[in-house]
Chain A
Amino acid sequence: MDAKKKDKLATAVIYILVGIVVLILAGILGNILITGVPHLSWHFLSSEASSYQAGGGVRDQLFNSLYLLVLTTIISLPIALGAAIYLAEYAKDNWITNLIRTTIQILSSLPSIVVGLFGYLLFVVQFGLGFSIISGALALTFFNLPILTSNIEEAIKGVPQDQREAGLALGLSNWKTIRGIVLPAALPGILTGIILSAGRIFGEAAALIYTAGQSGSTINYADWNPFSPTSPLNVMRPAETLAVHIWKVNTEGIIPDATIVSAATSALLVIVVIVFNLGARYLGNKLYRKLTAAK
């Protein structure tokens, strides 16, 4: 076979492989959306889940998912950012740093059910936080930190060394250079890291079953005082998320319309992740443009 034919063959194989990936993705997404979207309605989004009868909604689950995502991001982002800045900018290249990096890699491949059980023992039982949003958010932080840290570290390391030297040569301190030049330049990468980890958090069920719990409490959406027991913002109340709801309806649900509810919830989950993705990208681009005047 001559080089030209080999090239054609290789190109064909590559196209076939990428075709398989696209087909699988389109198949899954299409299946979820086609079976789920017809059952999505305002009633489904705005009513409580029902325990026995058909016709329940996912209002609280949707809110809980978003609230947990926000809380987890608020807790884990500063920690991950600090750790990533340390690893990328300050850490010397020695065995301690390597040990930290290896630990982070091991943690990031930890099965989420293990994180969930660990969270159960530590936060729910030991710290006495009970099945609560805060327990869930802390478990998700454990689950999220390693990946978020390595993503942000990669983004920071991707900023050319020249940029740092140019900052120092202008008389900037090390910290000023990081804050004023390196972080803005790394922003798109940092944002991608946040979006990726947000998708994981949103779809996570196993780590939450034993921490945030599988049942909801009565929530009064007129009450926004975070210390009131019926307030949606109360972090001490148990909270079932969309992903946990899907799991529960399918394993132990006794509602007659379980398949419909789980299909609709799955579609909703996918749609929210997509909306979040696009929204975060849009906001990130705007922020980046504002910081850098890029056009």
Chain B
Amino acid sequence: MTTIISAKDVHLSYGNYEALHGVNLNFQEKELTALIGPSGCGKSTFLRCLNRMNDDIENIKITGEIKFEGQNIYSSKMDLVKLRKEVGMVFQQPTPFPFSVYDNVAYGLKIAGVKDKDLIDQRVEESLKQAAIWKETKDNLKRNAQAFSGGQQQRICIARALAVRPKVVLLDEPTSALDPISSSEIEETLMELKHQYTFIMVTHNLQQAGRISDQTAFLMNGDLIEAGPTEEMFIAPEKQITSDYLNGRFG
């Protein structure tokens, strides 16, 4: 088991307000890690630090160290485009671009400079298959991606993120905007894929975290309370407050 991303003493503040008070957390390769915690605890904020999606927010200050494959991603030498190609992201709301399914999935590749039409065709098909949306889209590749249902759109977005062959995919509450059937389809998709990719997922849904994650990290009020293998944490959490949260006493 190798560590692919390690965060050391990550502090983040907006102006005078500190949202993360020094988070230390390691993510293992080809595992699915769930970040859980009550609303406003900083889990999404932390997730967005991992591919530097917070950079453009005004008055933001991030200190500490986040290493991706041993390289500090906040160093000035880091190539943002390359980082985001290796650390992809899927959002809460499905965000297909207003193009065809094919163009959506191929977009990242084209941006990355891939010109070979056969390779793009092959990648598009492969990625749509991996995201378990190939059957529904193979006859409609030229159709606008926004014309599909929410669950289908989200899987198209997963395919789009996978098409550039990232090593890590960040998922920011990927199923919270979807109905239960679509959610469980996305969960199955992730279960299939987690042997090939590293997933880091923020979720509000504790059952979901329990069902599909290998590691779980519990955050509260900007602090990492505890982290560890999901099963151990759900059966015997080390701290009382984790147990209270997992048992629905608050949050």
Chain A contact residues, CB within 8 Å of chain B? 92, 160, 162-163, 165-173, 176, 180-181, 184-185, 291-295
Contact = CB atoms under 8 A, between A and B. Distances in A.
B88 A170 contact: yes
Contact of A171 (B81, B98, B144, B146): B81
Interface stretch (B32-40, B107-115, B226-234): B107-115
B144 A294 contact: yes
B97 A293 contact: no
A162 B58 contact: no
A177 to B, nearest CB: 10
Interface string B46-66: 000001010010100000000
B29 interface: no
Contacts of B84: 168-171
A293 B111 contact: no
Contacts of B53: 165, 168-169
B81 A173 contact: yes
Interface in B194-249: none
B95 A184 contact: no
B135 to A, nearest CB: 20
Given A170-B107, A171-B112, A291 B164 contact: no
B157 A293 contact: no
Given A162-B91, A167-B97, 12 more contacts: A160-B95, A163-B97, A165-B95, A166-B91, A168-B53, A169-B88, A170-B85, A171-B81, A171-B112, A292-B99, A292-B144, A294-B144
Contact of A184 (B80, B99, B102): B99
A291 B98 CA distance: 8
A170 to B, nearest CB: 5
B147 interface: yes
B177 to A, nearest CB: 10
A294 B108 CA distance: 20
A293 B93 contact: no
B143 interface: yes
A176 B58 contact: no
Contacts, number: 80
B82 A185 contact: no
A92 B56 CA distance: 12
B56, B99, B100, B147: most-surrounded residue (chain A CB, <10 A): B99
A294 B96 CA distance: 12
B123 interface: no
B108 A171 contact: yes
A266 to B, nearest CB: 40
Given A169-B84, A173-B81, A295-B147, A162 B93 contact: yes
Contact of B100 (A168, A173, A292): A292
A180 B143 CA distance: 18
Contacts of B93: 160, 162
Contacts of A184: 97-99
Nearest to A185: B98
B43 interface: no
B147 A294 contact: yes
B8 interface: no
A173 B56 CA distance: 12
Contacts of A166: 89, 91, 95, 97, 157
Contacts of A163: 95, 97-98
B125 interface: no
Please provide the 8 A-B residue pairs with the shortest distance between their CB atoms, ordered closest to farther: A293-B100, A166-B95, A169-B89, A171-B84, A294-B144, A171-B81, A292-B98, A162-B95
Contacts of B146: 294
Contact of A293 (B103, B112, B161): B103
A167 B91 CA distance: 11
B155 interface: no
B76 to A, nearest CB: 17
A99 B197 CA distance: 49
A36 B112 CA distance: 59
B111 A172 contact: yes
Nearest to B55: A168
A242 B182 CA distance: 59
